[in-house]
A and B are shown apart, each in its own frame.
Chain A
């Protein structure tokens, strides 16, 4: 476990989260962007998810799954922050509490 592999893990999650944000932008009914941009957003989203997944697969032989999977919990918090920042989704204390509980639960499930 060193700084390089940690940054690779975070990089994979960043790609996955970016993919979800772009997917949402592509699909959103109340899209303020021109609809013709949707296909491009969609394929960029799929590409970002693929890159994230490839990095993840590459990391798998190096680490125990029980070490890698708890980062799934972290990506949920990253996604909520990104959705609030870039999609301007309204986050309430109640939603934050839910996200934190789910993340903690995911970490427990994957650590066991």
Chain B
């Protein structure tokens, strides 16, 4: 019943969503202790005290598992390119959940990534349908 879930391409998509969620959690965790304070001269470890950070770490570990599942059968270069979808999902998630601004150049970059992924994914979709 859950066979579709273990389809390697579904696993890649799942990986992308988990990485996006993890990055959002890390941002939330970091913000909880140093809101709007930019201190690039030193690393800050206070974020580890936030529950968000730990949810992010768990999500990141799960994302590694889904990535390993995908690598069992998908060629590395294709899997890696498809996982580039994270560069689309992450800015969008920051826009929706964190209210971050997306400027024109960023929209352009997102568009290029999407076109690249489409070019690689399209023959695969046809192949999957035949199976």
Q: Could you list which residues of chain A lie within 8 angstroms of chain B, going by C-beta atoms? A: 20-21, 23-24, 27-29, 57, 60-61, 76, 79-80, 83-84, 87, 89-91, 94-95, 97-112
Contact = CB atoms under 8 A, between A and B. Distances in A.
A101 B103 contact: no
Contact of A101 (B75, B106, B119): B119
Interface of A is mostly: helix
Interface residues of B, number: 34
B73 to A, nearest CB: 6
A105 B77 CA distance: 17
A100 B41 CA distance: 34
Contacts, number: 112
Contacts of A94: 119-120, 123
15 contacts: A27-B72, A28-B72, A76-B84, A83-B75, A83-B77, A95-B81, A98-B117, A101-B112, A102-B87, A104-B109, A105-B113, A105-B116, A107-B109, A108-B105, A112-B109
A103 B81 CA distance: 9
Interface of B: 40-43, 67-68, 71-73, 75-78, 80-81, 84, 87, 91, 103, 105-106, 108-117, 119-120, 123
A87 B114 CA distance: 26
B112 A108 contact: yes
Contacts of B110: 105, 109
B9 to A, nearest CB: 15
Nearest to A99: B81
Given A57-B43, A98-B81, A109-B87, A89 B75 contact: yes
Contacts of B113: 101-102, 105-106, 109
Contacts of A27: 68, 71-72
A107 B113 CA distance: 10
A91 B41 contact: no
